[in-house]
Amino acid sequence: MTKHKVRKAVGYSVLNLVFLCLCFLGLIPILYALSLSLSSGGGALSSGITFLPSNPTLDNFKAIITEEPFLIWLKNSFILSLGTMVIAMGVSVEAAYAFSRFRFPGRGGVLKLLLLLNAFPQILSMFALFRLFKELGLLNRHLGLILIYAGSMCIFGIWNMKGYFDTIPLEIEEASKIDGAGNLKLLAAVILPLARPAIIVTSVMILIFVWNEYLFATTFMLSEGSYSLAGGLYQLQTGDYGRSWSMFSAAAILVSIPILIIFFFIQKYMVSGLTSGGVKG
Amino acid sequence: MKKIVKAMLCVLLIMSLAGCSRNNTVSSVKEPEVTGSETGENQDSKEATETKPVELKIWHDGDEAIMGIIQTSLNESLKDKKITVNFEKKAGLTDQIKLYGTDAANGPDMYLYAHDSVGMFAEMGILAPITDVIGDESLSELLPMTVQAGTYKEKKYQLPVYFETLLFLYNKDLWKGEVPNTTEELYQYMKENTDTAAGTYAVVNQHSTAYNVSPFINGFGGFILSAEGEPGLNNAATKEAIDYNKKFAALQADGDYNTVTTLFNEGKAAAIIGGPWLISGIKEAGINLGYKSLADFTLPNGRNLAPFAGVQGVCVMKYAAEAKKDAIGEVLKTLAGKELGAELAKKSNCAPANVKAYEDTEVAANEMVVTMKQTAETAQPMPNIPQLTVMWAPTESLLAAVNKSGEDLDKAADKYQQEALTAIADMQ
Amino acid sequence: MKGKKKYQPWLYSSPAMILIGIIIVFPILYTGFISLTNMNLFHWLDYRVIGLENFKRALFKVDSGFLKALLTTLLWTAVNMALQLVLSYFIALGLNAPGLKLRRLYKTLLMFPWAMPAYVSILLWRVGMFNTEFGLFNKCLSALGLSKVNFLSENIPAFLSCMILNLWMALPFMIMMIDGALQSIDKCYYESAKLDGAGFWKQNLHITIPFIKPIMAPAVIMTTFTTFKQFDIFYLLTMQKGAYTGATIQTIITYAHQNAFVSNNYGLSSAVSIIIFGIIIALSLFTNRGVKETGEMALRKKGGAYDKA
C-alpha cells in the first residue's frame, strides 16, 4: 500500500516535471519577447542570453496603451469577435444538428462538399469578396468583416459540432421527444447543455481566429479607428514598431493577454460540462 | 439533393455575374454624379467667393513624422480656401490601391508613394495625369529629375514632393579616422574592423536587397531592368557587380532590415548604408551621426557608386480628379511650392523636389539634405515601368542565393533571369 | 418520411448554407469567372472573356518546379501532421492523468503560442530565435563557443525551422481538441479494461484511440488542409519582400504566389488558383474515404442507433 503510494507520488513528480519543462520550452520565445518588452530601447537584443533585462521598465507598454489607439482597437476586436461568435455559432449549431440527427438524401454529399470548400485558400477569395461587398455597401463596416469571419468559420463549426453531437446518444432525445418537445426545443434544452464542451471549444476557436486575423481586417477596414487589434498592430509594424523591437514585443504580449484570460476562465466550464456525466455510451 | 445544390450554384453564378456587370455600370454612373454636383457647385460658387469646404484623403505608406509635417503644412496654407487634407497610413499601399483605385466612395483622392509604381497604376488606368489638374507652369520650380521620375509614356502622373537616395551613414564615435574614398579601401577597413563572432561590424548593408545593391550594379554599368523592359540579371556587368558585392556581404551580418538597423542603432556597427527613413530611429538612439554620399566612393573600375533615386510624390486618382479638381489643384500647387519643401528639409532632413527650397539658408546648411541633393544629381531614378514590380523578387532571390546560400553566380543568374522573363511574360 | 420532415434538415441548415454560399462559394465562382477573362494590368477595367486561354498557359506552369513544390507540400503536410498528432496525443494524455493538480495552469501556459497572431509569432521567431545576430539559438551557440549558423539560408535547415515553428503554433490547438475528446470518454471503460488486465498501451489502442477517432476526424482533416495551405510561415520566414534568406523552399501555394500573383495578371492567377483547387480536391478524395470509414465505424459502435432517425 505505502509502496504503491510512493510510486504514485514519484510518478506525479515526474509528470509535473515533464510538464514544467514542456511549458518552459513552449514559452521560451514568449519569455524572450517579454524580456525585450521590458527593456528600454533594443538593449536586450544584443546582450547575452538573459531573461531579465538589466533595467526593467514598463515604458513600452505605457507607450502602446497611451500613444496608439490601443483601447479603441481592443473594443473593435471584442465587437468583431463576439459578433462573429454569435452569428457563426447561431447558424452552425442548427446545421450541425440537422446533419447529425437527420438522415436525408444529399447529407453525405453536402458534408463532403463543405469540407472541400473549406480547402480553397481564403487569400484567393479576397478580390471577389471585395467586389461583392462594394456592391452591398459593406466595405469599411464591422458587419462586413463579421460576415466574412462567420462564413469562414461556419464550416469548421458545423463539422466540429456535428462530430460531437454524433456522440450524444439518441436515447436521451427520445425520452424528451415522448414528453412532446419539438426539435428546436429539444436542441436548446437537451442537446446544447450536453454538448457544452464542444460548443465552448468551437466558440473559442472562432474567437481566436477573429482575434488574430489581420489581412481582411486591414483590407476591408479603412480608418484607423475601426481596426481590430491584430490589424492595427499589423499597420504599425511597418512603421513605429518596425523600428523598435521592444515595442513590437510589448504589443505582441498585450494582444495575447485577453485571449489567455478568456481561456483560463472557460476551462472550468469545459471541464464541468464534460464531467457532469451526461455522456454515456 | 443534387438538384438543389445545382440550383443553388446556378443562382449564385447568376448573382455573381449580375453583380459584376452591375458593378461596372453602377460605378460609371455613380462617379459622374458626384462629379457633376461637386464641380458644378464649385464653378458656380467661384464668383460668389462662398467656397464649400472640401476634405481630401491621401494615403501613404511612409514615415508618420514626415507625413505629419506635410499634412500640417498643407492644412495651414489651405485653411482660407476651406480645404482640409487627411493623411492616412496604409500598410501594403500598392495592394490597397489595386482594390480601391476605382472605388470613389472608399478609396483615397490621392496617394503619396515612391515613383516606381507609377507605370503600373497608370497602365491600369486608375490615375489622372497631374497636368489634367494643374498647368505645366506649376512644375517649373521642380528638379527635372524628380518630374521625369513620375512621367510615364510622356504623361506626368506624379507630383514630386521629396526624394531620397542611399547614403553612407556612420557613427562618428566609432569610426576610426577618415571615411575612405574608394570601395577597396572601405573593404580593407571592413576586414580589419569586423568581428562576426563577437557581432561587431564595420559597415552593414542590406546586401541582398536589390535597392541597396543598386549602387554597385549601376556603378559597374549593369542594370536590373532596362528602360525597354528587358531584365539584366545575367548581364556581364550586373554579374560582375554582384560578385564584387559578395565579398562585402560576407562582412555585413545577415543583411535583413531589422538586423542591420538594430546593429547600427546599438553601436554594434560603425556604419550603415541606408536612407533618410532610418534617421528618426538613429536620432532616438542618440548616435553621433555623420554622412557621406555614396557617389564619393570610387569603384576599382574608376567609376563611382551610383545609387538609385526614389522620388516620393503624390498621384491623383482618376475619379478624384474629376470630382474635386479645384481643391486637388490647390493641394498640388502648395505641395510643389518652396515653403513646404524648405519646411520638410528643415524638420525631417528630406531633400525637397523644389529647387528654390535649397536657397533657404537653413536648408543650405543642412549637411544631410545637401549630400542627398549632390548624390541625386548623378543618381538615376528607379525605372517606373510596370515590369519593375515583378523584378524585385527574382533579383533579390539571386542576391540571396549568391550571398547567403553560396550558389554559383553564373548558374543562379541564368536561373533568375529566366524567372524574370517568365514573370514579365505572365503580365500580359 | 413525411413531406414536412423532408424539408426540415434543409430549413435548419439554410442560414449556414446561405452564409457559406456568399462568403465561400461566391468567391470561388467569381475566381472561376475571372480565370476566363484577360483581366491584367493592361486590361484592368476593360477586361473581356477570352475562354480557356489562361488555363492553357497555367497548365504550362505545371512543370518540374511545380511538381517539386507539390512533393514538398505533401512531405510537409505528412511530417507535420504525424508529429502533431503523436505529440499532442501524449501531452493530452498527460494532462488527463487523474490527480494532476496544476492541470489548468499547464493548459493555459501551453495555449500561449496560440493566443498570438500568426504574423506576430512568425516575426518573433524570425528575429528572436533564428536570426544570426540576435536569435536565441545563435546566442546559445556562441555561448557554447560554436560558430553562428544561418538557419534559414539553406533548404533543409530552413524546412526544419519552418516545421518547428509550425509545431509551436499548431500544437496548442491539437492538444486542446484531443484533450476535449479524451474527457468525453466514460471512465468505466477503463475500469473494466483494467479488470481484464489490459496495460497502458492496450488501453490506448483499444479504448482511447477508437473512441476519440470519430470526434477528432473533422479537426484532423481541417488541420491537414490548413497545414497543406500553409503560406505565412514560408513566406514571412524566408521570402518576404526585402528579406529573402536564401532558402528556396516552395510549396504549391508559395509557388503559385511567386509565379502568378506578383505579375498582377488576375486572369492567369485565377486559372492557377482553380487548378490548385482541383488538385486539392483530387488529393482529398483520398482523405474523404477515410472520413467515411471512421464515420461508419462510429455507427456500428452505437449499435445502429442512427437508423432510427
DSSP string, A234-269: HHHHTTHHHH-HHHHHHHHHHHHHHHHHHHHHHHHH
- A215 touching B, CB under 8 A? no
Q: Nine-digit cell at A179?
A: 414528453
Q: Which other chains touch chain A, taking contact as 3+ CB pairs less than 8 Å apart?
A: B, C
Residues C275, A250: Cα–Cα separation, whole Å: 42
Shortest CA gap B355–chain A (Å): 29
Looking at residue B32, its pLDDT comes to: 38
Read off the DSSP letter of residue B111: E
Read off the DSSP letter of residue B134: S
Mapped onto helix, strand or coil, the DSSP state of residue B85 is strand
Beta-carbon count within 10 A of A265 CB: 10
Mutation target among C142, C244, C255, C258 for the B interface, most CBs of B within 10 A: C244
Give Cβ neighbours of residue A242 (< 8 Å, ≥ 6 apart).
A248, B257, B258
Mean pLDDT of chain A: 81
Cβ-contact A88, A206 below 8 angstroms: yes
Residues C246, C232: Cα–Cα separation, whole Å: 17
Q: Above pLDDT 90, what percent of chain A? A: 14
Which residues of chain A neighbour C100 with C-beta distances below 8 Å?
12, 15-16, 19
- C285 touching A, CB under 8 A? no
- Read out DSSP for A65-79? HHHS-HHHHHHHHHH
Cβ-contact B253, B196 below 8 angstroms: yes
Looking at residue A269, its pLDDT comes to: 66
Angle at CA A102, nearest 5°, toward A101 and A105? 145
Looking at residue B168, its pLDDT comes to: 93
Cβ-contact A218, B92 below 8 angstroms: yes
Which residues of chain C neighbour A41 with C-beta distances below 8 Å?
none
Q: Please answer yes or no on whether B120 and C245 come within 8 Å at the CB atom.
A: no
- Asked if residue C79 has pLDDT above 60, the reply is yes
- C212 touching A, CB under 8 A? no
CA separation, residue B125 to residues A219, B17, C42 (Å): 21, 23, 8
Higher local confidence (pLDDT), A51 or B177: B177
Shortest CA gap A140–chain B (Å): 8
- A110 touching B, CB under 8 A? yes
Residues C109, A19: Cα–Cα separation, whole Å: 10
Q: Which of C133, C243, C245 sits opposite B263 (nearest CB)?
A: C133
Looking at residue B42, its pLDDT comes to: 45
CA separation, residue B41 to residues B35, B44, B327 (Å): 10, 5, 12
Instruction: pLDDT band for A279, please (50, 70, 90 cuts).
Output: very low
**By CA distance, what is C18's nearest residue in B?**
B8
Cβ-contact B156, B147 below 8 angstroms: yes
Q: Please answer yes or no on whether C260 and B120 come within 8 Å at the CB atom.
A: no
Q: Please answer yes or no on whether A36 and C13 come within 8 Å at the CB atom.
A: no
Residues B256, B259: Cα–Cα separation, whole Å: 5
Mutation target among A134, A216, A218 for the B interface, most CBs of B within 10 A: A134
**By CA distance, what is C167's nearest residue in A?**
A26
Looking at residue B3, its pLDDT comes to: 46
Beta-carbon count within 10 A of B362 CB: 10
CA neighbor of C185 nearest in space, from C67, C71, C56, C98? C98
User: Which helix (H) or strand (E) covers residue B274, if one does?
Assistant: strand B269-274
Q: Which of C15, C121, C184 sits opposite A91 (nearest CB)?
A: C15
Q: Which of B88, B95, B281 sits opposite A243 (nearest CB)?
A: B281
Q: Please answer yes or no on whether A46 and B262 come within 8 Å at the CB atom.
A: yes
**Beta-bridge mates of residue B381:** B309
Q: Please answer yes or no on whether B2 and A235 come within 8 Å at the CB atom.
A: no
Residues A65, A253: Cα–Cα separation, whole Å: 12
Question: Tell me: the pLDDT tens digits for C167-205?
Answer: 999 998 888 888 878 877 777 888 888 888 878 888 888
Q: Please answer yes or no on whether A41 and B266 come within 8 Å at the CB atom.
A: yes
| Segments in B182-235 forming alpha helices (H) | 183-193, 210-219
Cβ-contact A92, A152 below 8 angstroms: no
Cβ-contact B332, B188 below 8 angstroms: no
Residues A44, A38: Cα–Cα separation, whole Å: 9
- Beta strands C239-240 and C243-244 are antiparallel
Q: Please answer yes or no on whether B103 and A139 come within 8 Å at the CB atom.
A: yes
Which residues of chain A neighbour C139 with C-beta distances below 8 Å?
48-49
Mean pLDDT of chain B: 84
Mapped onto helix, strand or coil, the DSSP state of residue B324 is coil
Which residues of chain C neighbour B6 with C-beta distances below 8 Å?
none
Looking at residue C82, its pLDDT comes to: 95
- What is the arithmetic mean of pLDDT over A10-37? 86
- Asked if residue A146 has pLDDT above 50, the reply is yes
Local mean pLDDT, 10-residue blocks, chain B (428 residues): 45 42 36 40 46 88 87 91 90 87 90 93 92 90 90 93 91 92 94 87 92 92 90 93 93 85 88 88 87 91 90 94 90 91 88 91 88 80 90 91 90 92 86
Question: Tell me: the pLDDT tens digits for B341-389?
Answer: 999 998 888 899 999 999 988 999 888 888 888 887 777 889 999 999 8
Mapped onto helix, strand or coil, the DSSP state of residue C93 is helix
Give Cβ neighbours of residue B267 (< 8 Å, ≥ 6 apart).
B171, B173, B174, B287
Polymer length in residues for chain A = 281
Torsion of CA A70, A71, A76, A81, to 10 degrees: 100
- Beta strands B308-317 and B127-128 are antiparallel
Q: Please answer yes or no on whether B427 and C42 come within 8 Å at the CB atom.
A: yes
Task: Provide φ and ψ at B310, rounded to 5°.
Answer: -110, 125
Instruction: pLDDT band for A46, please (50, 70, 90 cuts).
Output: low
Question: Tell me: the pLDDT tens digits for A67-112?
Answer: 878 889 999 999 999 999 999 999 999 999 889 888 888 888 888 8
Looking at residue A278, its pLDDT comes to: 36
- What is the arithmetic mean of pLDDT over C151-177? 91
Give Cβ neighbours of residue A124 (< 8 Å, ≥ 6 apart).
C27, C31, C270, C273
Instruction: pLDDT band for A44, please (50, 70, 90 cuts).
Output: very low
Which residues of chain B neighbour C25 with C-beta distances below 8 Å?
8-9, 12
**The residue type at A152:** S
Question: Tell me: the pLDDT tens digits for A163-172?
Answer: 778 877 777 7
Q: Please answer yes or no on whether C136 and A104 come within 8 Å at the CB atom.
A: no
Beta-carbon count within 10 A of B247 CB: 12
Beta-carbon count within 10 A of A202 CB: 26
Distance, CA of C239 to chain centre = 20
CA separation, residue B139 to residues A232, B86, C183 (Å): 37, 23, 74
Which residues of chain A neighbour C1 with C-beta distances below 8 Å?
104
Q: Which of A101, A115, A151 sits opposite C23 (nearest CB)?
A: A151
- C183 touching A, CB under 8 A? yes
Give Cβ neighbours of residue A105 (< 8 Å, ≥ 6 apart).
B1
Question: Tell me: the pLDDT tens digits for C9-67?
Answer: 888 889 999 999 999 999 999 999 999 988 888 888 888 888 888 888 888 777 777 88
Mapped onto helix, strand or coil, the DSSP state of residue B352 is strand
Cβ-contact B412, B220 below 8 angstroms: no
Residues A85, A150: Cα–Cα separation, whole Å: 7
CA neighbor of A85 nearest in space, from A209, A195, A198? A209
Q: Which of A22, A128, A154 sits opposite C27 (nearest CB)?
A: A128
* Widest distance between CA atoms in chain B: 83
Shortest CA gap B91–chain A (Å): 5
- Asked if residue A63 has pLDDT above 70, the reply is yes
Beta-carbon count within 10 A of C73 CB: 24
Q: Which other chains touch chain B, taking contact as 3+ CB pairs less than 8 Å apart?
A: A, C
Higher local confidence (pLDDT), B113 or A12: B113
Q: Please answer yes or no on whether B96 and A219 come within 8 Å at the CB atom.
A: yes
Q: Please answer yes or no on whether A129 and C222 come within 8 Å at the CB atom.
A: no
Cβ-contact B239, B409 below 8 angstroms: yes
**By CA distance, what is C176's nearest residue in A?**
A201
- Asked if residue A275 has pLDDT above 50, the reply is no
- C266 touching A, CB under 8 A? yes
Cβ-contact C165, C78 below 8 angstroms: no
Beta-carbon count within 10 A of A89 CB: 20
Which residues of chain A neighbour B197 with C-beta distances below 8 Å?
none
CA neighbor of C85 nearest in space, from C206, C229, C212? C212
Q: Above pLDDT 90, what percent of chain C? A: 19
Mutation target among C24, C35, C215, C221 for the A interface, most CBs of A within 10 A: C24
| Segments in chain A forming alpha helices (H) | 2-38, 43-46, 59-67, 70-101, 107-118, 126-136, 142-166, 170-178, 183-186, 192-194, 196-212, 215-220, 229-237, 240-243, 245-275
Q: Please answer yes or no on whether A167 and C184 come within 8 Å at the CB atom.
A: yes
- B20 touching A, CB under 8 A? yes
Beta-carbon count within 10 A of B176 CB: 9
Read off the DSSP letter of residue B129: -
Question: Tell me: the pLDDT tens digits for C294-306?
Answer: 544 444 443 333 3
Q: Is residue A147 packed enough to be buried (19+ CB in 10 Å), middle (13-18) or exposed (0-12)?
A: buried
- Asked if residue A3 has pLDDT above 50, the reply is yes
Which residues of chain A neighbour B4 with C-beta distances below 8 Å?
106
What does the H/E/C string look like for B141-194?
Answer: CECHHHHHHCEECCEECEEEEEEEECEEEEECCCCCCCCCCEHHHHHHHHHHHC
- Asked if residue C206 has pLDDT above 60, the reply is yes
Looking at residue A188, its pLDDT comes to: 78
Please, what is the end-to-end C-alpha distance for chain B in angstroms?
Answer: 42
Which residues of chain A neighbour C280 with C-beta distances below 8 Å?
116, 119-120
- C144 touching A, CB under 8 A? no
Q: Please answer yes or no on whether C134 and B259 come within 8 Å at the CB atom.
A: yes
CA neighbor of B350 nearest in space, from B366, B335, B365? B366
Q: Nine-digit cell at C149?
A: 549558423
Residues A187, A162: Cα–Cα separation, whole Å: 13
Angle at CA B95, nearest 5°, toward B93 and B96? 65
Task: Provide φ and ψ at A164, rounded to 5°.
Answer: -80, -40
